Every structure is written in structure tokens, then in C-alpha cells.
Structure 1
């Protein structure tokens, strides 16, 4: 094994949290979400009739409890599902930005609030409509890779009431700084592993196709298959089984006959490594002991 000198290529792996995206998957998802946020900013600018600026802050995997700690209560949270993907995800914006969007949607000048507060039912209805439209864009962005049907399930003000993962699980967050008029806050998407993993795999595959690397991957797979097929494996034939007491075993001597549980006319079992795989019949070929496979074990 060669010595790795470029330590920057080494990425830590947390064996306590095996469900995490690879570097390639994370980069592919980052590229797709960047396109989504640009489209979302264009929609919001048109819908609110004012320039809306989004700037990426971070795309990273963090423990679920750490993500919860980053959200101040009361918050503006939308829990959504994307059939056919398993699990749910979150879309979040800071209350000040939510109030600014509400004010603009109602014809105002986009006044926000200095102190965070819970939204009223009417305000939640307006934000829900905006989130619904943003999720339509979300589905359209992923459409070329996977046919999704995003649907907002509920609005919450506390992440404790919108649980999408277990304590200790990793989640992927995509956080954007948003500026609407004089108001500044953030948007954030949060995915649990089970929800983002199929999207990440599809994004990587699409990237390989675009780069022309997929053919190389298939060739490597064929090479691996060829190497696997040439690997030697130990095969043995079990003549039969029986049980002996320690006393009987101690009294065994040359010439004793041991009665096995198998009948003489029954097939024998061929074992590959440690697994019973085939039923065989014994015989001879050119003066050597041999067996003929009659069926696969379990196909009787």
C-alpha cells in the first residue's frame, strides 16, 4: 500500500454516522440547489415586485440536533414531502423576512419586524402560498433527474413539532442569505439522509453522463466483474452427518462402521466456502472421484 502524501485529499469519515453523502454527491447536490435558489429568487422578485437577492452561506452535513439549535423560536417552518421519496424535509425562513414578504404581497413597502414573533393564521396562509410556489420550482429543478411531487404538509413555529430525523442523525442543510428591500435574513432547506440520498445519486449519475465519465465507470465495473469471476473459492462435498457421544468417540477404532443420517441413495451437499449451495451425486471420471450437480440447494 502506497504512502498518501497529499493529506488534503483525505476526508474524515464518522463510523458512528455511516449515513452521509460522499464529496461527489455533496458537490452534485450543491450545483442543483444553486440553480433552484436562483430560480426561487427570480420568482420572489416577480411575485413581490421588488429585487430579492440570495447569497449562498453554506451547504453542509451536520447533526440534526445542531441544526435544531441554529433555528430560533418562533420560526417560520414548512414541512414538506416529495413523493416518491421517503421521509420529509424542511424549508425555513426567518420571521423578519416572512413579514417583509407578507407586507409586499399585500401591496406594502416590505416592512419587516425588529422582534421575532409568531405569525398569525392569516399571515401563515400567505407564507404557505409563497412556499407552495417555491416548492413547485423545487420539483421542476429536479424533474430532469427524478419526477417529484413536492407538497407542503404543515407550517410550524417550533422545529420540535416538525421532526424529520432522529437525534444523532446527519442532515443536509442549504442555507441562503436573503435580502428584501432593507430586510436581511435567511432561507434554509433541510433534508434527512433518506430524503436526499436518492436525489444525490441521481445528480451524480447525471453529472457523469454530462462529463462523459459514465462509460469509464461501466468499463471499470466490467473489469471488476472479470476479476471477481477469476477468484478461486474452496468447494467441498459433505458425505453425511451423524452424532456421537463423547464415550462413543473415545472408543472408536480402526474398522468401526459409523452409520450416517443420510441414505445411500440420497444426493450429497456441495459447499462453497461456508455456504451449502448445490445437491450433487457422486461418481468417477477418468479414475478420479467426481460429483454431478443435480440442483441448487433450496430449489428442490
Structure 2
């Protein structure tokens, strides 16, 4: 639809043409020029800028969780932070990583499909050296892992996926588990080569060793929760309380234990009388047997009742609930 000009705009345009400020031929040339933007169909962008920002926020939290986890496991200084978040075809991701590396292939139900955590050999072997009692040094020549090394490596990265679930909790509940570990990227085909994936790169430092950990999340796997990665969803979800979390909180509060005290009366005696009390002595209280007893929750009177027994045990029967107003009057 053509843009409609106001009368003032028309007058200003005619005045500019008549004064020579604007050239009519140039206007025609501008109109005739086709405005074309180059678009690469092989590298179609599937993640919006808003979704990339959401992925960045989620995995910045994941980086903090991993820093805490690896520091505790390796008992050394570990620093992890998000270096970049990009979207690119899967085959381009495969070409960008080393020919021999540590590939942890995992799934995260209810999401359908597989994802990959690629760990640079420098980082992986430094972790392995620390776990086996070394100083965190990287061997000069790295080769295939032994059976013991594979078991140790699988265990540490399997547990690292628990932090992945924690980082995604504010978006959706995931149950990630390690499917398999591979070293050659050519043997790993989790999606088609042209499928767009989000690659979150973590800059990792373990002692004096540095390297990258790359998380590859295919768009086809995240597709069902993509609407939740918008800023609008995050804002609305923070305003509206989570009903499930509220219900759990209520259940836990209901199970909280509080001290319940029944006062049968009070009396004042001297220290000398207290020291000479013997079995069978009687202390006269300031409350009649006909009066109702105060029942305190913590230090606050909440009920009144009558003393008695139930199945041979001392008990109290609640007769009334003390209103808040009445409680303050006291």
C-alpha cells in the first residue's frame, strides 16, 4: 500500500523541487532501484535475537553451576563463563571442533532428540589427571581413553547434567541423562547436516589449563519450548506465581513442626523452697481446676481447652480458638 502524504508534506516537497534542493530524476531513480537483501538458504536463521538472549541467560547460570560443581570435584581453581552463543548448521559445528575430542551425547526428556556437550581434550585430560591424583597436567600426546578413564570421565559429565536441569528449571523441567560418550565427531550424527543448532561456547580454565566446552542444542530438539524462550514469556511467568511451586510450599509449611505448650497454671516460690522440694510435695497454682487452660503455639496463646486423659495418656481437649484481637487484648 502506497504511503499517503499530508497536505503540509506535499507543499514541502513541491517547495524543495522548485528551489532545486531535490532532483526529480534522482527520486525516480531511487524508486526504480530494487532493494534486495542477500539471504543464504543453507544457513537460515531459526533462533531470534530474543531467543539467543534467553539462551545466554540460561547458560550463564549453567556456567556458574558448573564452576561450583567442577571446583568441588577437582579440588582446584576452576573458572567457567559463556564466551559466545551462535547459531550455525550442524555440519559447520562438526568441522569447527577437533578431530579427536570428548563428545558427551545426552537426551533431556520431555524434549525429543539428542544434544551434545563437546569438551576440548586439554580440558578433559586436565580433569582426568586431577581425578586420578595428578596436578591437572595435560599429556603431550593424547589418544583413546582406557576403560577406567572412560568410566571416570562418564561419571563426572553424567553428574554435570544435573546442573543442566537446574539451569533450565525456570523455563521447563528437564530430566537429562548421558546416552553415550564418543571421541570422533565423524561417528556422531545427531541431526541432518543442514539443521540449525545453537552452540553455546564456555571458556574454561582449570588451574593453568585453558580450553573450551561447547554445548550443541539442535533447533529441532528445542522447537517445542521455543515460545518459552521469549522475553515476554519470562516477564509474564515472573509476574504469575507458579501454582505447582506454591502448592509444594504450602505442603511443606503444613508439615513444619511447632512446639505446643499447655499451661496448667503458674506459681511463685523462693529459691530455698525450690531446693527443698521432695517427692510428694504439692505446689499450689494460681489457676482453678474449673478454669480453661491456655494452649500456646510457640509463645502465643492460640487455643483454650480442658485437661483430661485419652486411652490412659494425659491429653487436652480444645474448646475454643483465641481470636487475634483477643490475643492482643491480653
Question: Under TM normalisation by the shorter chain, which class is it?
Answer: 0.5 to 0.7
Say which of 135, 139, 155 aligns to 1:109: 135
Q: CA RMSD in A?
A: 2.3
CA pair 190-95 structure 1, distance change in 2 beyond 3 A? same
For 2:104, the equivalent position in structure 1 comes to: 78
TM-score computed with the length of structure 2 as normaliser: 0.57
- In structure 2, the residue corresponding to 1:149 is in which secondary structure? coil
Q: Tell me how far apart the structure 2 counterparts of residues 101 and 199 of structure 1 sit (CA, whole Å).
A: 33
What whole-Å deviation, never above 9, does each CA across 1:240-270 have from its counterpart, x for those lacking one?
Answer: xxxxxxxxxxxxxxxxxxxxxxxxxxxxxxx
How far did 1:165 drift? 1.4
Say which of 236, 239, 242 aligns to 1:209: 236
Matches within 5 A, 1:1-20: 14-15=40-41, 20=46
What whole-Å deviation, never above 9, does each CA across 1:33-80 have from its counterpart, x for those lacking one?
Answer: 110111111110111101111132210001111101111121100100
1:157 aligns with 2:183: yes
For 1:138, the equivalent position in structure 2 comes to: 164
- Preserved contact between residue 52 and residue 180 of structure 1 (Cα < 8 Å): yes
Matches within 5 A, 1:162-177: 162-177=188-203
Q: Tell me how far apart the structure 1 counterparts of residues 94 and 121 of structure 2 sit (CA, whole Å).
A: 16
Q: Tell me how far apart the structure 1 counterparts of residues 73 and 38 of structure 2 sit (CA, whole Å).
A: 43
Say which of 150, 168, 171 aligns to 1:124: 150
CA pair 150-161 structure 1, distance change in 2 beyond 3 A? same
Q: Tell me how far apart the structure 1 counterparts of residues 38 and 178 of structure 2 sit (CA, whole Å).
A: 35
Give structure 1 stretches of 5+ with no counterpart: 3-10, 214-300
Q: Tell me how far apart the structure 2 counterparts of residues 67 and 123 of structure 1 sit (CA, whole Å).
A: 26
Higher relative contact order (CA 8 A, sep 6+): 1
TM-score computed with the length of structure 1 as normaliser: 0.63
Say which of 46, 51, 55 aligns to 1:25: 51
Q: Tell me how far apart the structure 2 counterparts of residues 207 and 146 of structure 1 sit (CA, whole Å).
A: 11
Give structure 2 stretches of 5+ with no counterpart: 4-36, 241-330
For 1:260, the equivalent position in structure 2 comes to: none
1:43 aligns with 2:69: yes
